[in-house]
Amino acid sequence: MEGETSWNSHCIDDMSKDIGEFDSFSELSDEGNKEIIVSVDLILPDDLLERILAYLPIASIFRAGCVCRRWHEIVSSRRFLWNFSHVLSQKPWYFMFTSSDEPVGYAYDPILRKWYSIELPCIQTPNWFIASSCGLVCFMDNDSRSELHVCNPITKICKKLQEPPGMKFSDYSALSLSVSRTSHNYMISIVKSKQVPGNFLQWDLSIHIYDSETMMWATSLTEVLTGWRGGDESVICDGVLYFLIYSTGVGTPENRHSLVAYNLSSRSSPLIRSLIPVPGPLTCGRLMNLKGKLVMVGGIGKPDRPDIIKGIGIWVLNGRNWVEVGRMPHKFFQGFGELDDVFASSGTDNLIYIQSYGAPALLVFDMNQKLWKWSLKCPVSKKFPLQLFTGFCFEPRLEIAP
């Protein structure tokens, strides 16, 4: 298939080089440790060794592939990928762009608390639109917004999609990706918004859906919104496409943002009937799917100045109501230094990452433990005042391919 490569053992070789300076198992200097490794290697049959290796963190799997030829063949095999897909899921990584112009950076592994230098395929600049789900990442260019790629950033398997329908140069676009954990089929949505010529209050909005089974795009909805416009924030949860819309000047500060819930099966219309109020005055909102639940991380605005951030909250949508599950402690809020009214945040499984655009500091929130923790310091520093940092969260998986 055009634009697509297949999995092979070279993925292990390439990733071992890209992922950087691992403490390789083969570098153990103690003779006793070497003897233990050799004897275990001789005793265990392949199927049992596969099961054991499948429980390792994904970075350790690449190290294991460097131990000997037998282990390399095991972690490169199809059967190992099947075993790997049936063990407990890996914790999500966070890729941080460290350049405003080039798509280069480091990926953070929260299990081993290490940063790895990896190269992302397909993407050309950090300002591309990015969405991720279940080991796959979708990139869309920020110019014509018609070039899309779906890839596995770990194996580097990449596929270029056909150009989506609808307006080519929209004012605002929101990209989302949803991958089935059973079939590995995926759906991509693009919400496009463009101002109606000569009318400040009215905006054309369209929703376009890509289905990996049919490999076809379809325009699901076109509508004109009055007093609201689309933005760049969307996510798919349990068959519902959620996206934020923004007031164009009508109404009070409390409803500067609103949430649209669009059922991808029933295709409910008009959209204004499915609006869900946000929890309060927000400077910005970031949407994410955590285990099938819609989660929003939002900048909490001051009561008298809702455009100035005073804190960051986390809410889960329950029906049409928001339930607050966390609020950033003040010491962590201060730890970002000068935090802008907007910030980067993404998450999956039980982890949420929050990052200021102005610094490489990365904060992690564990939804299960309700625990805030700084990541290990990223191996890059700010070189000039206007340098920006951003990033995205993804699941490191070996068995998923676009």
pLDDT of residue 271: 83
Q: Which positions ≥6 away from 205 have C-beta within 8 Å? A: 191, 192, 193, 221, 222, 223, 224, 225, 229, 230, 271
Q: What is the pLDDT of residues 288-323, one digit of tens each?
A: 999 999 999 999 988 778 778 999 999 999 999 999
Cβ(343)–Cβ(354) below 8 Å:
yes
Here the tokens at position 130 are: 């990015």
* pLDDT less than 50: residues of the chain: 1-12, 15-37, 253
Q: Which pTM does this prediction carry?
A: 0.84
pLDDT of residue 8: 40
Report the Cα–Cα distance between both ends of the chain, in Å, rounded. 11
Strand order across the beta sheet in which 114-117 lies: 114-117, 105-109, 93-97, 390-394
pLDDT of residue 251: 55
Top CATH class of 41-85 equals mainly alpha
pLDDT of residue 41: 62
Here the tokens at position 73 are: 């063949």
Instruction: Identify which of 313, 319, 228 has the alpha carbon closest to the alpha carbon of residue 276.
Output: 319
Strand order across the beta sheet in which 136-140 lies: 129-133, 136-140, 148-151, 158-160
H helix intervals, 241-385:
330-335
pLDDT of residue 252: 55
Instruction: Identify which of 168, 131, 127 has the alpha carbon closest to the alpha carbon of residue 146.
Output: 168
Would you list the domain boundaries of the chain?
41-85, 89-394
- Which CATH number is 89-394 given? 2.120.10.80
pLDDT of residue 170: 86
41-85 and 89-394: identical CATH topology: no
